[in-house]
Amino acid sequence: MGSVDHLDDLDRRIVAALQSDGRASWTEIAERSGSSVATVARRGQQLLRDGIVRVAAVPDNNHAGAADLYVLRITCQPGTQMRVCAALAEQPDLRFLGLVTGPYDIMAELNLRREESLQARIVEQILAIDGVQRCDTDLTLHVYKVAHDWSQQLLTGEVREPVTGAHQCDPSHFDAVDREIIELMREDGRSSFRTVAAEVGLNESTVRRRFETLLNRGCIRVTTLVPAPALGFESEIILNITVAPPFLESVARTLSNYRGVRYVAAMLSQNALMCELILPTTQDLFEFTTGVLGRLEGVQGWTASVVLLVLRRGFVETPWWRASLGPDAPA
């Protein structure tokens, strides 16, 4: 991956525009970025080639039909964290996978079909990975906010209507051709419909109609992945917030309206909310914990993990995690 230190204001505006609409034309992105089409196209294509940005079309729920979302908090033997991460990165139904600080080494979100055995998955697969010592598993009860355009919020101060929950598409909403289209656009969410049509053996208008139907039903979304440091943000934090039961709903909805919060969900254990923050500076984090979180009625305390490296988000492997480790990265 190219260095993220060289990104200037125009690069960041291009990234923010791609997070707002990953399939926007370079002409549309130029209008939002305040620069020429030629310059924006050249800069944007370089960001994609360098692996600083990845655009992908993915389902909010990785399965057609009923599935549950579990948070996995994994502790590893010393020195095995990256080997365990590499093994976990191969599992397609992990929605999120990150290396973190704090009481755990790795955090992940597992999207599991309800007919599958959680016991078999945890005991026979996760705990069987060489280096894993412990896996604490919690059930996500309700998602209050998912912000896929978090950079737009932080750069402009605009907070959009939160996207809630993981949509559960009925199996009848997908067929084999739809899945083929999704898999191709998972690899490159900016692929033209003409290119995808040639791959699946259909005409362009049919592929466009199928894609837009899935998008309008909420079965898929287009997401733009970018490491927070690329935009100059210092703090990417996951909080586990303990809340008095009568205040769980009000605290969750208040946090959902805060511009630095990209994710809020109610968990089964400990009357807890899981909250992910992406903030420009450590000072912003201090102001959030003291001026916002610490003053919310019902909040009893929290633990925090700093996100060191994101390997998967939205079921998509980030393009930068292996390159960031150098030539000795796990295969």
Q: Say whether pLDDT at 75 is over 70.
A: yes
What pLDDT shows up at residue 301?
A: 95
Between 258 and 6, whose confidence is greater? 258
Task: Report the alpha-carbon distance of residue 169 to residue 132 in Å, rounded.
Answer: 33
Q: Would you place residue 2 in the very low, low, confident or very high pLDDT band (cuts 50, 70, 90)?
A: very low
Which is it for the CA torsion 94, 278, 137, 268, positive or negative? Answer: negative
Average pLDDT score, the chain: 86
What pLDDT shows up at residue 167?
A: 52
What pLDDT shows up at residue 137?
A: 96
Question: What average pLDDT score do residues 32-47 get?
Answer: 93
Furthest-apart CA pair in the chain: how many Å? Answer: 58
Phi, psi for residue 239 in degrees, rounded to 5: -105, 140
Helix (H) or strand (E) holding 50: none
Between 154 and 302, whose confidence is greater? 302
Residues 210-219 have pLDDT tens digits of 999 988 887 8
Residues 175-187 have pLDDT tens digits of 889 889 988 998 8
Task: Report the alpha-carbon distance of residue 135 to residue 313 in Å, rounded.
Answer: 20
- Structure token pair of residue 189: 């969410």
- Structure token pair of residue 132: 């894993």
Question: What average pLDDT score do residues 108-126 get?
Answer: 93
Q: Are 100 and 79 in contact (CB under 8 A)?
A: no
Question: What average pLDDT score do residues 301-316 get?
Answer: 92
> What structural domains and CATH numbers belong to the chain?
1-52 (1.10.10.10), 67-150+228-325 (3.30.70.3460), 175-218 (1.10.10.10)
Q: Say whether pLDDT at 278 is over 80.
A: yes
pTM over 0.75: yes
Q: Say whether pLDDT at 197 is over 70.
A: yes
Q: Say whether pLDDT at 327 is over 70.
A: no
Q: Say whether pLDDT at 36 is over 50.
A: yes
Q: How far apart are the first and last CA of the chain?
A: 16
